[in-house]
Amino acid sequence: MNDLLKSIVTYLRFPIHPAGYVFIALFAIGALLLALLNTFLGLIGLVLTVWCIFFFRDPKRVTPLNPGFIVSPGDGMITKIVKVTPPFELGIGDEPRWRVSVFLSVFNVHVNRIPIAGNISKLHYHEGLFLNATLDKASEDNERQMVAIKTDGGQLVGVVQIAGLIARRILCDLTENQRVETGERFGIIRFGSRVDVFLPVGVNPLVMEGQVAIGGETIFADLNSKEEPRTGVSH
């Protein structure tokens, strides 16, 4: 079974986020122990180990480098686009702005990426619940890490990592005043989650609900665009 696991990892050929090594090792050990008890249980453990490897994958992305583009910070389904007042703790003002929410299932890439270049103006961690991340109230009730970015043009963009129903750990590698670039990795949420992006005031989203987003690649908005918000639901 150990040789089979090595062959699977070699075949998949994608980088693994460092946060996943311990979990992959634990899953693999568990699979070996199950195999000693029963072949069928060992196969189940092997499948779970492969899933764990798949969960912590960290594929390369081709990020559009137009300085006005705001890209998706995560992979998943865009579940909600709504104009709301951002949380006070985020420190980007109280004027309503568009919020784009991306739900990351347990099968999506969970490495998070910077949506636009700038400087980290504020970080705020909030302890909370672990409700289903697709629920709207998850933005207010769930455990979350808030990140505010001040662009080179002085506009403010908010990113919020939100724990989900089975997510129990948010990792954020940023520090305040740090310089960041579009598409740069900045953290990961373990096992199902959601990421919210608060666009600058006056900037409209260029995506629709139901659309599948790719972290670091899908363009959420363009600071230089005058296009009206898109309507409808992507199928």
Mean pLDDT across the chain: 86
Global pTM reads: 0.83
pLDDT at 29 over 60: yes
List, for residues 173-212, the tens digit of each pLDDT value. Answer: 999 999 999 999 999 987 768 899 999 999 999 999 999 9
pLDDT at 8 over 60: no
Asked if 111 and 121 touch (Cβ cutoff 8 Å), the reply is no
Q: Which range, 1-15, 138-152, 204-218, has the best average confidence (pLDDT)?
A: 204-218
For position 137, which CATH number holds?
2.70.70.10
For residue 118, being part of any structural domain is answered with yes
Phi, psi of 109 (to 5 degrees): -65, 135
As annotated, the active-site residues are 193
Domain interval for residue 159: 69-222
For residue 227, being part of any structural domain is answered with no
Long-range pairs for 82-91 at CB < 8 Å and ≥24 separation? 86/158, 86/198, 87/139, 87/140, 87/146, 87/160, 89/124, 89/126, 89/146, 90/122, 90/124, 90/146, 90/148, 90/158, 90/160, 90/198, 91/121, 91/122, 91/124, 91/148
CB under 8 Å to 172, separation ≥6 — which residues? Answer: 123, 125, 145, 147, 161, 186, 187
Indicate whether 99 and 194 sit together in one domain.
Answer: yes
pLDDT at 138 over 60: no
For residue 153, being part of any structural domain is answered with yes
Asked if 67 and 221 touch (Cβ cutoff 8 Å), the reply is no
How many domains does the chain contain in total?
2
